[in-house]
Amino acid sequence: MHISEGVLSPAVLAGGAALAAAGTALGLKKLDYEAIPRVALLSAAFFVATLIHVPVGPVGLHLVLNGLMGLLLGWPAFPAILIALFLQALLFQFGGLTVLGVNTLTMAVPAVVCFYAYRGLLRRGGPGASVAAFACGATAILLSGLLVALALLFTGEAFLRVAQLVALAHLPVMIIEGIITLFVFLFLKKVRPEMLEGIYGTG
């Protein structure tokens, strides 16, 4: 999911940076002081999960956990993902600083979209909540894959085949992320329900 340096056009990089900055600012505005430890924990989990990746063209395929982050954080997923990606670029040269905005956008936007899309079902509880938790993880990966593909397409038609490959390669990751998000949701609901307070708040 990391797009490498030197791949995207300046216009795509600039647009991604501007939108990521706006999303991060909104995420920080909606971040409660009490939620900072949860944001830090999920940012660390994201940092570790995305370190192990398989190169697919100009991107790296790996676990993302952005659906889980969206489920638990909502808008604060933006700064959580930004910090993790910045540290990865700085320490391990994954992605890069010039593509930091685009990479943040492709992972954080689906997190926020899934938070609002599935929060209603998660609030109701019952079997529907389990389905929504799985769908939250899977849909976030689907949307991230599509956004990465779009970023490549907006850079040039030469990336059409790579964009198609990136979108298809994320299909198995969707299933894995859906299962992980479901199990984490069920676990937290049983032992640490306070971790799910973002679902029931105003968002």
pLDDT-above-90 percentage for the chain? 42
Element containing residue 148 per DSSP (H, E)? helix 127-155
**pLDDT tens, position by position, 151-188:** 888 887 666 777 677 667 778 888 889 999 999 999 98
Long-range contacts (CB closer than 8 Å, 24 or more residues apart) made by 145-154:
145/1, 145/169, 145/170, 147/105, 147/106, 147/109, 147/110, 148/1, 148/3, 148/59, 148/106, 151/3, 151/8, 151/12, 151/16, 151/102, 151/106, 152/3, 152/7, 152/8, 152/58, 154/9, 154/11, 154/12
pLDDT at res. 111? 95
pLDDT at res. 133? 94
pLDDT at res. 132? 94
Would the pLDDT of 59 be above 70?
A: no
The closest of 179, 175, 171 to 61, measured between CA atoms, is: 171
CATH of 2-200 given 3.90.1150.10, 1.10.1760.20, 3.20.20.70, 3.40.1350.10: 1.10.1760.20
State the number of CA atoms in the 13 A half-sphere of 97 facing the CB. 2
pLDDT at res. 61? 61
pLDDT at res. 103? 93
pLDDT at res. 105? 94
What DSSP line would sit under 54-92, residue for residue?
Answer: EEETTEEEE---HHHHHHHHSTTHHHHHHHHHHHHHHHH
Would the pLDDT of 53 be above 70?
A: no
pLDDT at res. 34? 82
pLDDT at res. 202? 44
Domain positions in the chain are 2-200
pLDDT band, residue 57 (cuts 50/70/90): low
Question: Between 28 and 48, where is the model more confident?
Answer: 28
Which of 34-38, 82-86, 152-156 has the least mean pLDDT? 152-156
Question: Between 94 and 60, where is the model more confident?
Answer: 94
pLDDT at res. 54? 62
Question: Between 10 and 153, where is the model more confident?
Answer: 10
pLDDT at res. 203? 47
